[in-house]
């Protein structure tokens, strides 16, 4: 008796084209400025009609911020599919993920942002769950 393997189709995975509204980015930058020299942290929310467009940040009760750390109370997060990742600031100005950031990225969400001091429209980056830099368009 012969067994034949069915040929598996390789599906091409299209990269996600993430976008963020300019008003949301402005809110992020102002929020980071307001807690400086401490870190700012929150969650990123997308619209149901536009599942790859970040339009809002969600702040959780009980968030703890310090000059070199910020901790979310993830048990307080909304349980819906509109939350897609995290946003936090680095008061040092260095906006690349630390090893602790990468651990958070892998545990929670698909897209993450880090904004660096002095919190300008050009001092931020977006990352995937593994800490790889990804493009994000401001609309």
Residues 46-78: pLDDT tens digits? 998 999 999 999 987 556 565 665 666 565 566
**What is the SS3 assignment for 127?**
strand
The arrangement of secondary structure in 18-138, i.e. its CATH architecture, is 3-Layer(aba) Sandwich (3.40)
Element (H, E) at 114: strand 111-116
Residues 26-50: pLDDT tens digits? 999 999 999 999 999 999 999 989 9
N residues, the chain: 139
128 DSSP 8-state letter: -
Domain positions in the chain are 18-138
Strand partners, 70: 65
């Amino acid at each position: 008796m012969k067994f034949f393997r069915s040929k598996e189709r390789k599906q091409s995975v299209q990269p996600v084209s993430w976008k963020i509204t300019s008003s949301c980015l402005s809110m992020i930058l102002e929020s980071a400025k307001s807690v400086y020299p401490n870190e700012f942290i929150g969650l990123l929310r997308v619209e149901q009609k536009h599942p790859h467009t970040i339009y809002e940040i969600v702040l959780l009760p009980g968030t703890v911020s310090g000059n070199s750390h910020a901790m979310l109370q993830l048990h307080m997060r909304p349980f819906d599919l509109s939350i897609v990742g995290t946003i936090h600031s680095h008061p040092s100005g260095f906006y690349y993920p630390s090893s602790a950031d990468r651990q958070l990225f892998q545990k929670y969400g698909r897209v993450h942002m880090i904004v660096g001091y002095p919190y300008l429209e050009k001092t931020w980056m977006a990352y995937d769950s593994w800490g790889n830099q990804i493009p994000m368009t401001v609309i």
